[in-house]
Amino acid sequence: MSKTITLNQPLDMHIHFRDDDMLKLVAPLTAKTFAGALIMPNLVPPITTKEALMSYKKRIKEAQGFEDFEAFVTIFFQADYSYEFLADIKDEIIGIKLYPAGVTTNSETGVSSMDIKALSPTLESMSKLGIPLCVHGETNGFVMDREKEFMPIYESIASAFPDLTIIMEHITTKAAVDLLDKYPNLYASITLQHLIITLDDVAGGMLKPHLFCKPIAKRPEDRDALLKIAVEGHPKVMFGSDSAPHPKHKKEACGCAAGVFTAPIALQMLVQIFEENNALDNLDKFLSLNAQRIYKFKAIDKTITLVKKDYVVPSLYEAFSQKVVPMFADETIHWSLEQ
Ligand code: NCD
Ligand code: ZN
C-alpha cells in the first residue's frame, strides 16, 4: 500500500486566474483540489469598480467547474478610494492589492509614489473597515535588491496603521523573514517556487523562462530562511502560490513574461517538501489554518487525498486554444492526487 495523506481545507492565498479562455483553462485546476483561493485583480484593465468586481466574480464562478471551491476576490489599490466605496464593497472582497507602478505584470496603473501621505486616504479607510492590505513589495531598484529596499516602506505602513492587516506577498528574502515578527500586523505569503529554487535555477545555467517570476528567486540563504518558517508552520505565514499563467509563446520569447505556473502541482509538491523536511504535521498551518486566522474566515469543508506515487508532470496544459507550461513540466515528482 502506498503512503497517503489527506489535507483539510487547502487554501491558496495568492493566485492569478486571468480572464476569458485562460480563466476557463486554469480556474478548474485550482478549484479541483483547493477549498479556496485569493484571486489577484491585475486584469487588463485592473479591477477598481464594483461592476468589474461583481462581473469577474461571476465569470470565475462559471469557469471554476467544481462547486466545492470558494474564490476570494480583491480589488486593485488606488490611493483615492472613498470610504463610502470601500464600505459598500467590503463584504464582497477579502483584501485590496497594492502594486507600485510598473514593478510586475499588469501593474502599470499601480501607485506611482509609495509616499505614506499619498496612500493614507485609502489606508485609513481600510484600517477602519478591517480590510486587509496585500502588497507587492518591490522598488524599482536593482533586481536583486528590490524586495529588501521595500522593507522600510512596510515598516512605515505597519507603524502608521497598527490596526491594518498587512500581507507581504510572495516574500523571497531573509530580510522579509526577519521583518515579519517586528510588527504584530505584518504577515506574509510564500510561493511554491521560492521554497525550492534560487537565482541559479533560473539563470545559472541554460536560461529557464518558466522559472522566471517577480520577485525573482534570490540566494540560497534567502530560500533557506523561507523554507524554515514555512515548514515550522510559523503563525504569520501562509501559502500563496502566485501561480501566474502566461501563454507558452509569451514565456518562450525574446522578452519573457514574468510568472511561474504552479497551480496543478502545488499540493503535490508542498507535500513532497514538507515530507522531506519531516514537517508534515505543520502543513495544515501553512496551507490552511494560518490563512483562516489571518484573514478571519472559515474555509468550506473539503479534503483532498494524495498518494506517494511518482507522477510525471504534463509538458503542457492546453484547452480553449490556450497553452500553458507548468513548473516541473516533463519531470517526475513523488506525490500524486488520489484518482
Ligand atoms: C504575476 C503576473 O503574471 O500577474 N507575475 C509574477 O511574476 N509573479 C504578477 C505578480 O504577482 O507579481
Ligand atoms: Zn502574483
Report the nearest-CA residue for atom 6 of ligand 1: 259
Q: How many angstroms separate the Cα of 23 from the Cα of each of 16, 86, 121?
A: 9, 26, 33
Q: Which atom of ligand 1 is nearest to the CA of 212?
A: 7
**What pLDDT score was predicted for residue 113?**
87
Residue 4 belongs to some domain of the structure: no
Q: Provide block-wise average pLDDT over 10 residues at a time, the chain (339 residues).
A: 95 98 98 98 97 98 98 97 98 98 91 91 98 98 98 98 98 98 98 99 98 98 98 98 98 98 98 98 98 98 98 98 98 95
Residue 246's CB is within 10 A of a number of other CB atoms, namely: 25
Domain count, the chain: 1
**Alpha helices (H) along the chain:** 20-31, 50-64, 83-89, 116-129, 146-160, 174-180, 193-196, 199-203, 220-231, 248-251, 266-276, 283-284, 290-294
Residue 124 belongs to some domain of the structure: yes
User: Range of 250's domain?
Assistant: 11-302
User: Which residue in this structure is represented by grid cell 462559471?
Assistant: 62
Residue 39: its H or E element: strand 36-39
List the grid coordinates of 62: 462559471
Residue 174 belongs to some domain of the structure: yes
Whether ligand 1 lies within 6 angstroms of the CB of 188 is answered as no
Residue 34 belongs to some domain of the structure: yes
How far apart are the C-alpha atoms of 295 and 10, rounded to whole Å? 14
What percent of the chain is predicted at pLDDT more than 90?
Answer: 98
Give, as one character, the DSSP assignment of residue 243. Answer: B
- CATH code where residue 240 lies: 3.20.20.140
Segment 241-289, tens digit of pLDDT: 999 999 999 999 999 999 999 999 999 999 999 999 999 999 999 999 9
Active site positions, annotated: 242
Out of 19, 39, 97, 104, mutate this one to test ligand 1's pocket (max ligand atoms within 8 Å of CB): namely: 104
Q: Is 301 left (phi over 0), alpha (psi -120 to 50) or beta?
A: beta
Residue 334 belongs to some domain of the structure: no
How far apart are the C-alpha atoms of 333 and 327, rounded to whole Å? 11
Residue 1 belongs to some domain of the structure: no
Residue 313 belongs to some domain of the structure: no
Report the nearest-CA residue for atom 5 of ligand 1: 259
Cα 101 versus chain centre, distance: 19
Distance 244 CA to ligand 2 centre (A): 6
Whether ligand 1 lies within 6 angstroms of the CB of 242 is answered as yes
Q: How many angstroms separate the Cα of 308 from the Cα of each of 11, 79, 263?
A: 21, 48, 19
Residue 310 belongs to some domain of the structure: no
- Report the candidate in 223, 253, 246 with the shortest Cα–Cα distance to residue 104: 246
User: Which residue in this structure is represented by grid cell 515550522?
Assistant: 232
How far apart are the C-alpha atoms of 221 and 196, rounded to whole Å? 12
